[in-house]
């Protein structure tokens, strides 16, 4: 049925025109303001940005969100108004109304073009109104969708407390990672110490729902590895301690700037691992962290096969089916790797931006998975061109296209199954437990069609395949 | 700078794109950064559109910032021209391109040279106009472009009938301003076509929805233009009036009285036009322009709305308080319907169409207690909280305010959600529209008998009281007997009683509210 893999084959990388559809990176405020409970996000942009947030985030806007637009008007653009004074006025108002612990300014395309010096103004204003101000340039000129989170976390990384020199000089045995302030807490830490192996502090980065954070933390705890903190934490005041000798590991593939900042600015060691998406990814992620700390992982194989056995009903549905990723959220490589492991064939992985260094381990695992499963290597298309992709989809007729909402309904009308890619950003897809969730999403269009088709006779099936008028 | 959480009307380019993607075979190219093409998402999701939205972006990125768009825009236009062969490609500026100040007109001129489609630059300024104004403008721009093009071509061919535009033999009309993502526009369009058909008037062109730019040259053949919505189409109608002497009708046929007024206006326009035509070539008689019988028949028997307002049901609505807030067209019409056709008291009518404030004030003058012109949704929310109406008629935003205050809301205008794109037939205009509106209004108020029963039996729900005030002004403790008493008050006025009592307590420096305080508050309020 399939063409056999050439063992010498490697991944093919291509780059197209960049005419593709994705969300603006400012959309990261949607999940970050919910993650960081005491924050307030101020997007400094135009009506266009505001309208996007309002429409993309739908109903969330009505729940008194902790974000707002600083809407630039013509007088701001032509510099008739003083940026600093204007921002001060708005920030004071926010401080009075909401009293957040941190203000995050999101710079947009407009602030870039008019060269508004947000990074310069923030420290001055911060001192004046005594409220921390973090600046992130999450604009559509430079970034796509999830990279917005990357810019925010990279800026946050600078705000994490510094690991004291004394501590890092201290022998690792005496180290107490949660020793920051309260003696009671420190006591607790000492008591629990025995459950963990001796290892340098580990901080994980990437914004995940708190239950998923908990699951991954516990997963590492089983191996005796202690997670000293998360970037971001649930509250701004709980940001993790960083510094020389701290090990960091990412949980999402779009965090390359954050990784760079942690390495270069905060002198942390980066653990380059595949990402904990799918049971295979989670296992590889834990194994990599264990290997860095010289821990021999326990019981991972059984755990993986147990999870995998629990997925049989889904695997039966997708085995041998083909997937096409149009690309818009940088989760594509990890998802493709997982789906190949589940028996699917991936024809194309579109991706907005491919950091081959940060994703190196993930790409290696993808290659290995292709060889293991004996399927052809997918082509990885950076900055794809949607128009060309649609031509390819028409030719290949994949069983499933994972794409943005702009293309879903038109493709469905042409008889092609689609899954809305944004759902993967918002659903819980990390760790062993959530492998099921990914497949739940992937199989939903297939199950829906099965359900509908089972009630149609063959004659109707023929007629229903296309919902578009010819001509 | 302005602190904003929510806006009623979108940015200018959205209006332009809505007009462009409503036409058949017209492609829009946005000069915009990555991620600004979420218009495609809105159209694909809200309208459940089956076809790819004919909008692409010519991406503005770092390179463009550094060196300018250079060949990029031209290449994107010529490429789209080859790929899809549209009749017209429109380059649409966004907020980003309007501060970059590149010479987009120059790109358009160059691209027009190379491509077989017509190429235009949308003439909208992000910082001056909003979505609705931009839509109005773009529609006029395209109509003007094609009519002038036609004029030139006719001059070239020395066509003798250049000055004499031939009218259709039968009376006919253009419908201007129906377009994608409009509030119930598709249903309204069908209803208007039916209405015109009933009156023996042919529909010449409907633009932009489903129209072809190739047919725009036929616009002047119609006897008159019908502009159902105030927001979009008026500029085009004015242009056609000035250039071709075409009369237009801008009375929105929404509600029984306005529909009748619109039809009477049509009658008088037809009479005027026909008198100027050479009657031998045309198929009509003076008599056929008298629609009084039709209005009478429709009002009394086809539409249920007139009978509804006389029926016992509607009696219960008499004098109930309502607040209306929407776009200018729908807010003005709804206010008039509630007041004149149902005897409801409109305590405040408002609109977010600031550009049309004068017109709006004039329309609702004498029909409501106060007028609110604002595009700040918190101001609207506060107004609603203060007035405590029995029902709201507004946009999705007012629906959410209503939810929090436990006031029912009927949605009558954009901005809208997917639920405002119903699959069933739900026009707001014409005679079927009056039925739909009557249902909407009636279902929004608590049903008449239910109302009485609740009052007589002190309510049947024993659920805990929830604070429903907009601002969180805690600080009062309710004693158990106070709470029990509060629970006895019917649900629909409970919030009001609670707020009044707390207000009274605050004024008198009381911190624990028991039954006595409640009674005292009631006495003080004199009710």
Q: What is the ipTM of this complex?
A: 0.88
Across the range A113-118, mean pLDDT stands at 92
Residue A187 pLDDT more than 50?
A: no
Report CB contact under 8 Å: A51, B57. no
Cis amide bond preceding A193, omega within 30: no
Residue A186 pLDDT more than 50?
A: no
Q: Is the Cβ–Cβ distance between A145 and A252 less than 8 Å?
A: no
pLDDT of residue B231: 94
For residue B29, the chain A residue with the least C-alpha distance is A19
Greatest pairwise CA separation for chain A in angstroms: 78
Residue B462 pLDDT more than 70?
A: no
Which of residues B448 and B128 earns the better pLDDT score?
B128
Q: Is B479 exposed, middle or buried (0-12, 13-18, 19+ CB in 10 A)?
A: middle
pLDDT of residue B4: 86
Q: Is the Cβ–Cβ distance between A147 and A330 less than 8 Å?
A: yes
- As a whole number of angstroms, the distance between CA A107 and CA A120 comes to 13
**CATH code assigned at B320:** 3.40.50.1980
pLDDT of residue B159: 60
What is the DSSP secondary-structure string of B192-218?
A: HHHHHHHTT-EEEEEEETT-BGGGGGG
pLDDT of residue A179: 42
Across the range B383-401, mean pLDDT stands at 92
Residue A457 pLDDT more than 70?
A: no
Q: Is the Cβ–Cβ distance between B291 and B268 less than 8 Å?
A: no
Q: If contacts are CB pairs under 8 Å, which of residues 78-97 in chain B contact chain A?
A: 83, 94-96
Q: Which of A60-69, B144-153, B460-469 has the lowest mean pLDDT?
A: B460-469
Residue B141 pLDDT more than 70?
A: yes
**Residue B128 sits at the chain A interface (C-beta within 8 Å):** yes
Which residues of B carry a binding-site annotation? Answer: 36, 448-449
pLDDT band at B410 (very low <50, low <70, confident <90, very high): very high
pLDDT of residue B417: 83
Q: Which residues of A touch B96 (CB under 8 A)?
A: 48, 109-110, 113
| Distances from the Cα of B171 to the Cα of B166, B192, B202, B284, angstroms | 12, 15, 6, 8
Tokens of B189: 């369009």
pLDDT tens digits for range A280-298:
999 999 999 999 999 999 9
Mean pLDDT, all residues of chain B: 88
pLDDT of residue B71: 85
A·B CB contacts under 8 A: 157
Residue A202's Cβ-side half-sphere holds a number of Cα atoms within 13 Å equal to: 23
Q: If contacts are CB pairs under 8 Å, which of residues 399-438 in chain B contact chain A?
A: 400, 417
Residue B208's DSSP bridge partners are B178
Q: Exposure pattern of B113-135 as b/e (b: 16+ CB <10 Å)?
A: eebebbbbbbebebbebbbbbbb
Query: Between B4, B51, B99, which is nearest A468 by CB?
Result: B51
Write down which residue in B297, B319, B345 finishes a domain. Answer: B297
User: Domain-by-domain residue ranges, chain A?
Assistant: 12-17+303-454, 25-142, 194-299
Describe the crossing of helices A278-292 and A300-309 by its angle, rounded to 10 degrees: 170
pLDDT band at A171 (very low <50, low <70, confident <90, very high): very low
Which of residues A463 and A70 earns the better pLDDT score?
A70
pLDDT tens digits for range A70-107:
999 888 888 888 999 999 999 999 999 889 999 999 99
pLDDT of residue A60: 57
For residue B64, the chain A residue with the least C-alpha distance is A141
Q: Is the Cβ–Cβ distance between A137 and A105 less than 8 Å?
A: no
Secondary structure of residue B103 in the 3-state scheme: coil
- Closest by Cα among A370, A363, A332 to A349: A332
Residue B3 lies in a domain: no
Report CB contact under 8 Å: B7, A50. yes
Q: Is the Cβ–Cβ distance between A255 and A262 less than 8 Å?
A: no
pLDDT of residue A139: 92
Residue B455 lies in a domain: no
Which of residues A397 and B521 earns the better pLDDT score?
A397
- As a whole number of angstroms, the distance between CA B481 and CA A20 comes to 63
pLDDT tens digits for range B15-32:
999 999 999 999 999 999
Q: Which of B92-96, B310-314, B489-493 has the lowest mean pLDDT?
A: B489-493
**Cα torsion for B315, B321, B325, B328, to the nearest 10°?**
60
pLDDT of residue A184: 42
Report CB contact under 8 Å: A87, B1. yes
Residue A42 pLDDT more than 70?
A: yes
* B394 Cα to chain A: minimum distance (Å): 15
* B80 Cα to chain A: minimum distance (Å): 10
What is the DSSP secondary-structure string of B228-272?
A: --SSSSHHHHHHHHHHH---EE-----SHHHHHHHHHHHHHHHHH
Write down which residue in B402, B419, B444 finishes a domain. Answer: B444
Residue B152's Cβ-side half-sphere holds a number of Cα atoms within 13 Å equal to: 6
Q: Which residues of A touch B33 (CB under 8 A)?
A: 24, 109, 139-141
Residue in this structure with the two tokens 């401080």, named with its chain if needed = A95
Query: Between A47, A114, A409, which is nearest B10 by CB?
Result: A47
Across the range A395-417, mean pLDDT stands at 93
* A331 Cα to chain B: minimum distance (Å): 17
Which of residues B447 and A410 earns the better pLDDT score?
A410
Q: Which of A1-10, A74-83, B75-84, B356-365 has the lowest mean pLDDT?
A: A1-10
Q: Exposure pattern of A323-346 as b/e (b: 16+ CB <10 Å)?
A: bbbbbbbbbbbbbbbbbbbbebbb
Report CB contact under 8 Å: A406, B53. yes
Q: Is the Cβ–Cβ distance between A335 and A359 less than 8 Å?
A: no
Q: Which residues of B touch A410 (CB under 8 A)?
A: 44, 49-53
pLDDT band at A232 (very low <50, low <70, confident <90, very high): very high
Overall CATH class of domain A194-299: alpha beta
- Closest by Cα among A442, A462, A449 to A416: A449
Residue B31 phi/psi, 5-degree rounding, is -95, 95
Residue B490 pLDDT more than 80?
A: no
* B89 Cα to chain A: minimum distance (Å): 16
Across the range B33-41, mean pLDDT stands at 90
Residue B227 pLDDT more than 70?
A: yes
- As a whole number of angstroms, the distance between CA A60 and CA A44 comes to 19
pLDDT band at B445 (very low <50, low <70, confident <90, very high): confident
Residue A138 pLDDT more than 60?
A: yes
Query: Between B1, B99, B127, which is nearest A90 by CB?
Result: B1
**Cα torsion for B330, B334, B340, B341, to the nearest 10°?**
120
Question: Please, what sign has the CA dihedral across residues B509, B515, B520, B521?
Answer: positive
* Long-range own/partner contacts, residues B80-83 (CB < 8 A, 24 or more apart): B80/B27, B80/B29, B80/B56, B81/B111, B81/B114, B81/B115, B81/B116, B81/B117, B82/B115, B83/A387
Report CB contact under 8 Å: A113, B11. no
Report CB contact under 8 Å: B34, A24. yes
pLDDT of residue A165: 56
Known binding residue A109? Answer is yes
Query: Between A19, A68, A409, which is nearest B49 by CB?
Result: A409
Tokens of A239: 């940001």
CB atoms under 10 Å from CB of A72, counted, come to 26
Q: Is the Cβ–Cβ distance between B521 and B501 less than 8 Å?
A: yes
Q: Which residues of A touch B76 (CB under 8 A)?
A: 19
- As a whole number of angstroms, the distance between CA B90 and CA B20 comes to 8
For residue A91, the chain B residue with the least C-alpha distance is B3
Q: Which of A49-63, A391-405, B449-463, B500-514 has the lowest mean pLDDT?
A: B449-463
Residue B231 lies in a domain: yes
pLDDT tens digits for range B80-107:
999 999 999 999 999 988 888 889 999 9
Tokens of A195: 């459950």
pLDDT band at B288 (very low <50, low <70, confident <90, very high): confident
Pairing of strands A67-71, B2-4: antiparallel
Same domain, B35 and B56: yes
Quote the CATH superfamily of domain A25-142.
Nitrogenase molybdenum iron protein domain (3.40.50.1980)
Same domain, B309 and B440: yes
Across the range B379-397, mean pLDDT stands at 92
pLDDT of residue A174: 43
Q: Which residues of A touch B51 (CB under 8 A)?
A: 410, 413, 468
- As a whole number of angstroms, the distance between CA B211 and CA B12 comes to 22
Report CB contact under 8 Å: A74, B127. yes
Q: Which residues of A touch B7 (CB under 8 A)?
A: 47, 50-51, 54
Report CB contact under 8 Å: A109, B33. yes
Query: Between A24, A48, A112, which is nearest B95 by CB?
Result: A48
Write down which residue in B297, B331, B366 finishes a domain. Answer: B297
In CATH, the architecture of A12-17+303-454 is 3-Layer(aba) Sandwich (3.40)
Report angle CA B331, B335, B337 to the nearest 5 degrees.
120
pLDDT of residue A188: 44
- Domain interval for residue B345: 305-444
Residue B86 lies in a domain: yes
Residue B463 pLDDT more than 90?
A: no
For residue B73, the chain A residue with the least C-alpha distance is A19
Report CB contact under 8 Å: B3, A144. no
Give me the active site residues of B, please.
313
Q: Is the Cβ–Cβ distance between B219 and B166 less than 8 Å?
A: no
Pairing of strands A227-231, A12-15: unpaired
Report CB contact under 8 Å: B3, A70. yes
Work out the percent of chain A whose per-residue pLDDT is above 70. 87
Residue B471 lies in a domain: no
Q: If contacts are CB pairs under 8 Å, which of residues 343-382 in chain B contact chain A?
A: none
Q: Is the Cβ–Cβ distance between B100 and B58 less than 8 Å?
A: no
Q: Which residues of B touch A26 (CB under 8 A)?
A: 35
Preferred mutation among A113, A125, A387 to probe B, highest tally of B CBs within 10 A: A113
Identical fold between A25-142 and A194-299: yes
Residue B331 lies in a domain: yes
- The domain tally of chain B equals 4
Q: Exposure pattern of B447-461 as b/e (b: 16+ CB <10 Å)?
A: eeeebeebeeeebee
Residue B477's DSSP bridge partners are B512
Q: Which residues of B touch A69 (CB under 8 A)?
A: 2-5
Report CB contact under 8 Å: A24, B60. no
DSSP code, position A195: G
Q: Is the Cβ–Cβ distance between B207 and B176 less than 8 Å?
A: yes
CA Rg, chain B, in Å? 27
Report CB contact under 8 Å: A404, B10. no
pLDDT of residue A150: 97
Report angle CA B364, B366, B369 to the nearest 5 degrees.
85
Q: Which residues of A touch B3 (CB under 8 A)?
A: 68-71, 90, 93-94
Same domain, B290 and B245: yes
């Amino acid at each position: 049925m399939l063409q056999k893999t050439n063992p010498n084959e490697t991944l093919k990388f291509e780059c197209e025109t960049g005419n593709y559809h994705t969300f603006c990176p400012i959309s990261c405020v949607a999940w970050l303001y919910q993650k960081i409970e005491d924050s307030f996000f101020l997007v400094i942009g135009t009506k266009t940005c505001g309208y996007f947030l309002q429409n993309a985030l739908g109903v969330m806007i009505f729940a008194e969100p902790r974000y707002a637009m600083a809407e630039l008007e013509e007088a701001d653009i032509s510099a008739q108004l003083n940026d600093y004074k204007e921002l001060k006025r708005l920030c004071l108002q926010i401080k009075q109304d909401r009293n957040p612990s941190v203000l995050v300014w999101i710079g947009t395309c407009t602030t870039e073009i008019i060269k508004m010096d947000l990074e310069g103004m923030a420290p001055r204003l911060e001192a004046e109104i005594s409220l921390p101000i973090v600046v992130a340039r999450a604009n559509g000129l430079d970034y796509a969708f999830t990279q917005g989170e990357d810019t925010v976390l990279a800026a946050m990384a600078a705000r994490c407390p510094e690991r004291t020199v004394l501590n890092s000089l201290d022998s690792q045995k005496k180290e107490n990672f949660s020793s920051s302030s309260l003696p009671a807490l420190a006591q607790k830490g000492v008591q629990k110490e025995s459950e963990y192996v001796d290892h340098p502090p580990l901080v994980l980065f990437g914004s995940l729902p708190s239950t998923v954070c908990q699951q991954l933390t516990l997963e590492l705890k089983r191996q005796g590895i202690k997670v000293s903190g998360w970037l971001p934490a649930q509250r701004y005041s709980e940001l993790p301690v960083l510094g020389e000798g701290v090990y960091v590991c990412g949980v999402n593939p779009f965090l390359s700037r954050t990784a760079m900042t942690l390495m270069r600015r905060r002198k942390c060691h980066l653990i380059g691992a595949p990402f904990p998406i799918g049971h295979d990814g989670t296992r590889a992620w834990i194994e990599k962290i264990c290997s860095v700390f010289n821990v021999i992982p326990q019981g991972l194989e059984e755990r993986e096969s147990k999870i995998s056995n629990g997925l049989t009903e889904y695997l039966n549905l997708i085995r041998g089916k083909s997937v096409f990723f149009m690309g818009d959220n940088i989760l594509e490589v990890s998802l493709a790797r997982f789906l190949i492991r589940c028996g699917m064939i991936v024809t194309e992985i579109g991706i907005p931006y491919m950091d081959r260094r940060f994703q190196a381990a993930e790409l290696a695992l993808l290659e290995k998975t292709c060889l293991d499963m004996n399927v052809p290597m997918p082509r990885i298309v950076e900055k794809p061109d949607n128009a060309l992709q649609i031509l390819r989809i028409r030719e290949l007729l994949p069983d499933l296209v994972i794409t943005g909402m702009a293309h879903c309904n038109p493709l469905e009308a042409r008889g092609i199954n689609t899954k809305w890619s944004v759902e993967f950003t918002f659903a819980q897809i990390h760790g062993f437990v959530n492998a099921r969730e990914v497949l739940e999403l992937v199989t939903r269009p297939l199950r829906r069609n099965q359900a509908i088709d089972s009630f149609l006779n063959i004659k109707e099936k023929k007629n229903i395949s296309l919902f578009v008028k010819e001509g | 700078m302005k602190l904003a959480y929510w806006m009623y009307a979108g940015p200018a380019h959205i209006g332009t794109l809505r007009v462009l993607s409503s036409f058949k075979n017209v492609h829009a190219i946005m000069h915009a950064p990555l991620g600004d093409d979420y218009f495609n998402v809105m159209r694909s999701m809200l309208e459940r559109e089956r076809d790819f939205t004919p909008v692409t972006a010519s991406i503005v990125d770092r390179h463009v910032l550094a060196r300018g768009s250079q060949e990029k825009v031209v290449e994107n236009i010529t490429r789209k021209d080859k790929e899809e062969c549209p009749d017209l490609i429109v380059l649409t500026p966004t907020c980003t391109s309007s501060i970059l100040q590149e010479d987009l007109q120059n790109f358009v001129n160059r691209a027009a040279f190379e491509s077989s489609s017509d190429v235009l630059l949308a003439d909208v300024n992000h910082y001056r106009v909003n979505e609705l104004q931009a839509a109005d403008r773009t529609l006029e721009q395209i109509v003007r472009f094609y009519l002038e093009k036609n004029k030139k071509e006719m001059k070239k061919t020395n066509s003798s009938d250049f000055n004499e535009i031939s009218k259709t033999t039968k009376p006919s009309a253009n419908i201007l301003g129906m377009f994608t993502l409009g509030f119930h526009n598709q249903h309204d369009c069908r209803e208007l076509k039916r209405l015109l058909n009933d009156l023996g008037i042919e529909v010449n062109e409907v633009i932009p929805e489903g129209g072809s730019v190739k047919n725009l040259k036929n616009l002047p053949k119609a006897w008159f233009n019908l502009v159902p919505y105030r927001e979009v189409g008026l500029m085009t109608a004015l242009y056609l009036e000035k250039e071709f002497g075409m009369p237009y009708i801008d009375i929105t046929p929404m509600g029984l009285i306005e529909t009748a007024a619109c039809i009477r206006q049509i009658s008088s326009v037809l009479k005027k036009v026909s008198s100027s035509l050479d009657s031998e070539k045309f198929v009509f008689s003076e008599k056929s322009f008298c629609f009084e019988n039709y209005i009478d028949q429709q009002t009394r028997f086809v539409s249920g709305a007139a009978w509804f307002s006389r029926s016992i049901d509607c009696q219960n609505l008499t004098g109930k308080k309502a607040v209306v807030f929407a776009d200018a067209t729908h807010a003005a019409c709804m206010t008039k319907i509630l007041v004149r056709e149902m005897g409801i008291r409109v305590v405040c009518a408002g609109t977010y169409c600031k550009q049309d404030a004068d017109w709006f004030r004039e329309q609702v003058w004498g029909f409501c207690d106060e007028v609110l012109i604002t595009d700040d949704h918190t101001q609207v929310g506060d107004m609603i909280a203060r007035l405590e109406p029995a029902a709201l008629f507004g946009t999705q935003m007012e629906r959410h305010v209503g939810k929090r205050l436990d006031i029912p809301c009927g949605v009558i205008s954009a901005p809208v959600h997917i639920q405002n794109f119903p699959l069933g037939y739900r026009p707001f205009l014409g005679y079927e529209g009056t039925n739909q509106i009557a249902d909407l209004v009636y279902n929004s108020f608590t049903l008449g008998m239910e109302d009485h029963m609740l009052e007589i039996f002190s309510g049947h729900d024993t659920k805990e009281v929830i604070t429903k005030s907009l601002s969180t002004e805690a600080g009062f403790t309710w004693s158990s007997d106070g709470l029990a008493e509060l629970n006895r008050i019917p649900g629909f006025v409970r919030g009001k009683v609670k707020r009044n009592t707390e207000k009274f307590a605050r004024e008198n420096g009381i911190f624990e509210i028991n039954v006595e305080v409640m009674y005292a508050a009631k006495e003080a309020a004199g009710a």
